[in-house]
Amino acid sequence: MRKVIVLFALLLLAFPLLAGDPSRLTLASTTSTLDSGLFDALIPAFEKKFSCKVKVIAVGTGQALRLGRDGNADVLLVHDPEGEKAFVNEGFGRERLSVMHNAFAIVGPSQDPAKIRRQPLDIAFERIVATGAPFVSRGDQSGTHKKELKLWSLFGGKKSSAYLESGSGMEATLRIALERQAYTLTDMATWLAHSKELDGLSLLVENDQRLYNPYSVILINPAKYPDLNHPLAEKFVQWIRGKEGQKIIRSFGVDRFGSPLFFPDVITR
């Protein structure tokens, strides 16, 4: 199913979205919101409340922003603050609003050959480089990929000599890391949702403020693309930032993991 979603997203990059049914909304978002299962809780509730259908295009944040620039999505839910600010400043987004957050973490082989377990973040990156340990990057201009590149730059600018790019979403990248017994940067939501399927990988480095991972919702500027479904997009923004949407975010994952996979930023109680 996810392969179909990605293929559809690639087709949209080449062919513009046509104005269509006002009861249909096209939402471009990240793979983490899909892979974690969050949309399985959010989207049906929104569709039921507003008697509509939501088409989710789950790609890296870079591609989601491109879909917005090309007028191929009505609304975005993404996690690359610098890219989002540029998108709005360039006039493609009407506004950028906080929705939720979680965190990134480094996972890797349970035997931990680079000895990074519970080390400070800078020491962990230095040891991965020093030992030449395999590291899998998403390499897809996603929010996770952008964060990873910033961390390499922050901690000396060198990458592991065994660095490779998956060009894939987070779940696929984690599976490649398992196969290659490599380290990788992951969002916690995708990791928690799939960690039981990834025996051989362990959570090694977390709980660092530099691993903060905020998500924002962005309305496309109607002056750029007047034919998009702006009324329904506005309803989505109000809903996901309102009591019902924030409550779903706050409770999602608690039954399975004892804690939410995402933390609401608007209504926290």
Q: How many domains does the chain have?
A: 2
- Tens of pLDDT, residue by residue over 110-153, are 999 999 999 999 999 999 999 999 999 999 999 999 999 999 99
In percent, the amount of the chain with pLDDT more than 70 equals 93
Are residues 221 and 150 part of one domain?
Answer: no
Average pLDDT value for residue range 250-259: 93
pLDDT at 17: 44
Token pair, residue 124, equals: 């962990």
pLDDT over 50 at 47, yes or no: yes
**Which are the contacts of 115, defined by CB distance < 8 A and separation ≥ 6?**
127, 131
Do 51 and 261 touch, CB atoms closer than 8 A? no
What pLDDT does 7 receive? Answer: 47
Residue-wise pLDDT for 193-223, tens only, equals: 999 999 999 999 999 999 999 999 999 999 9
Q: What is the DSSP secondary-structure string of 16-62?
A: PPPP--TTEEEEEE-HHHHHTSHHHHHHHHHHHHHT-EEEEEE--HH
Are residue 57 and residue 68 in the same domain, yes or no?
yes
Q: Which residues contact 109 (CB under 8 A, 6 or more apart)?
A: 181, 182, 183, 200, 201, 202
111/158 Cα distance (integer angstroms): 24
Indicate the pLDDT class of residue 67, thresholds 50, 70 and 90.
Answer: very high
In the predicted structure, residue 176 carries a pLDDT above the cut 60 = yes
Could you tell me the CATH number of the domain that includes residue 170? 3.40.190.10
Whether residue 81 has pLDDT greater than 90: yes
93 lies in the same domain as 218 = yes
| Stretch 213-234: mean pLDDT | 97
Looking at residues 34-55, what average pLDDT do you find? 96
160 and 241 co-located in one domain: no
Task: Please report which confidence band the pLDDT of residue 11 belongs to, taking 50, 70 and 90 as the band edges.
Answer: very low
Rounded CA separation 251/139 (Å): 31
Check whether 18 has a pLDDT greater than 80: no
Whether 1 has a pLDDT exceeding 50, the answer reads no
pLDDT score recorded for residue 21: 75
Let me know whether 80 and 168 are in one domain: no
Please indicate, yes or no, whether residues 89 and 185 belong to a single structural domain of this protein: no
Shared-domain flag, residues 43 and 75: yes
Read off the pLDDT band of 20 (50, 70, 90).
Answer: low
